[in-house]
Amino acid sequence: MTRTAGLPESPTHPLQQVDGVPECVLGDALASRLPSTSPPAPWRTRVQAVLWMHAASPGAAELLPQQLRDERIVPLTIGAFIRYLDTPVGPYSEVLASPVLLARTPLPASTVPFIAVDSIASLHGGRANWALPKALAAFEWTAAPGELGRAAFSVRGDGTHGSSAWSVAAEVSPRRRRLPVRLPLRDVQLAPGGRELDIPISLAGRAQLATVEVRSDGPSLPAWLLSGTHRGAVLPDARMTFGAPR
């Protein structure tokens, strides 16, 4: 499994060089529509989220950028559907996945080669601020704001923006009890040219343990973002802050 297949050979926009899986290639037509600037980090947001995890598939670590592949890893894949209710660029939906965690201290770090949103402003901000290879996609949520019980979510990239066609769907069955959570998180991305971005993230809210039934399709996703029933959690209302890279 290779990380990227399809970066434009002669990109017309510097943000096309942000590296990701084939589902996240940014084509020339969409790149020409990007705004010229984005609000800088930190971004303070209010979210609803469904998270899940499963043991990493045998080839998942190959999704790491080449210069990170000699690091020790935690063989755990994490996926998420997130609905951002309040951000510096307005509300939007997002799906993302990290194939493995980097076993760094004092806090393991995700790295995200697959991420998609339904907002061009968010797409630009993610690529410009944090080298996240955001693609553009269409989302469907069956749950109303504040109601994530027995909900279903789906997202589809139709291949019209330079990326390959793909889809992810999830159905969530949460337990009733809500537990307070307050977590420091960490993500590592590589900017074009290879500079490492160490991104601090904070999460605070209430969570419900859940089972999440996932289906994925596309050129790379089925091999590492595995379809099936996985353990997860629901956050009906939480606060997240995405800090400036260090």
3-state secondary structure (DSSP) of residue 120: helix
CA distances from 76 to 50, 102, 187, 208 (A): 17, 10, 14, 20
pLDDT 10s digits, 46-93: 999 999 999 999 999 999 999 999 999 999 999 999 999 999 999 999
Separation of alpha carbons 53 and 23, rounded Å: 20
Q: Is the pLDDT of residue 150 over 90?
A: no
* pLDDT, position 145: 47
Separation of alpha carbons 39 and 59, rounded Å: 36
**Average pLDDT score over residue span 149-162:** 88
**Structural domains in the chain, sorted by start:** 46-242 (2.40.400)
Q: How many Cβ atoms from other residues are within 10 Å of residue 8's Cβ?
A: 15
**Average pLDDT score over residue span 99-126:** 98
Separation of alpha carbons 106 and 101, rounded Å: 13
* pLDDT, position 147: 61
Q: Is the pLDDT of residue 6 over 60?
A: no
pTM for this prediction: 0.94
* pLDDT, position 111: 98
Q: How many Cβ atoms from other residues are within 10 Å of residue 189's Cβ?
A: 26
**Average pLDDT score over residue span 131-137:** 98
**Average pLDDT score over residue span 201-212:** 96
Separation of alpha carbons 25 and 116, rounded Å: 11
The share of the chain scoring above pLDDT 90, in percent, equals 88
